[in-house]
């Protein structure tokens, strides 16, 4: 399996590593939205959010929080986004699960402005019913 993130984990590819422990590694994104754009990934190759086990997710989100604090303290952005793209349609290009930490500034070029839809008569309930029927927590 070809995975650039596994190559970074295995030190077969170089990266600006910010943090590393037994199960997690974090490094700068090579094509940042803003400078300091960071990726946080599990060392085990999971393709996406749905197959990432809860225990790993908990560790990963805690490290993501701590690194967000380090980014805010060191780079002083005006805000930051935590993003995870899942599936090609959602913009995922590396199929090894990762959180993006994106430092943000009020007048930066990064915009997420969807054309918002409206639910037609009753369709909101229909969508909710479909999802509720699938909830198995
Ligand atoms: P995705 O599009 O899957 O949500 O995010 C993948 C991210 O990985 C992209 O933002 C891309 O710039 C970054 N990326 C891809 N290849 C490399 C690489 O070789 N090194 C680093 N540091 N980042 C990479
Ligand atoms: Zn991988």
Encode pLDDT of 62-75 as tens digits.
Answer: 999 999 999 999 99
Residues facing residue 19 across a β-bridge: 26
Rounded to the nearest 5 percent, the helix, strand and coil shares of the chain are 35, 20, 50
Site to probe by mutation for ligand 1, drawn from 16, 88, 94 as the one with most ligand atoms within 8 Å of Cβ, is 94
Helix (H, G, I), strand (E, B) or coil at 30: coil
The continuous run of DSSP H or E covering 4 comes out as: helix 4-9
What DSSP character marks residue 49? G
| 1-58 pLDDT tens trace | 899 999 999 999 999 999 999 999 999 999 999 999 999 999 999 999 999 999 999 9
The continuous run of DSSP H or E covering 18 comes out as: strand 17-20
Nearest CA among 69, 18, 10 for reference residue 45:
10
The answer to pTM > 0.85 is yes
Question: Of the ligands numbered here, which is closest to the C-alpha atom of 13?
Answer: 1
Tokens representing residue 19 in the block: 């943090």
| 80-96 pLDDT tens trace | 999 999 999 999 999 99
| 104-132 pLDDT tens trace | 999 998 887 889 999 999 899 999 999 99
Q: Which atom of ligand 1 is nearest to the CA of 7?
A: 19
| pLDDT value for 72 | 98
Q: What is the largest CA-CA distance in the chain?
A: 55
Domain spans of the chain, in order of start: 4-111
Fold classified for 4-111 = HIT family, subunit A (3.30.428)
Q: Which residues line ligand 1 (CB under 6 A)?
A: 4, 13, 15, 27-31, 39, 85, 91-94
């Amino acid at each position: 399996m070809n995975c650039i993130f596994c190559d970074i984990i295995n030190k077969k590819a170089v990266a600006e590593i910010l943090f590393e422990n037994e199960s997690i590694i974090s490094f700068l994104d090579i094509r940042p939205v803003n400078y300091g754009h960071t990726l946080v990934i599990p060392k085990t190759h999971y393709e996406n959010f749905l197959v990432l086990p809860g225990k790993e997710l908990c560790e990963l989100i805690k490290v993501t929080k701590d690194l967000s604090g380090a980014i805010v303290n060191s780079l002083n952005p005006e805000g930051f986004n935590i993003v995870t793209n899942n599936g090609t349609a959602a913009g995922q290009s590396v199929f090894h699960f990762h959180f993006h930490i994106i430092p943000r500034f009020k007048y930066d070029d990064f915009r997420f402005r969807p054309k918002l839809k409206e639910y037609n008569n009753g369709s909101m309930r229909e969508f909710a019913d479909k999802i509720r029927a699938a909830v198995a927590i």
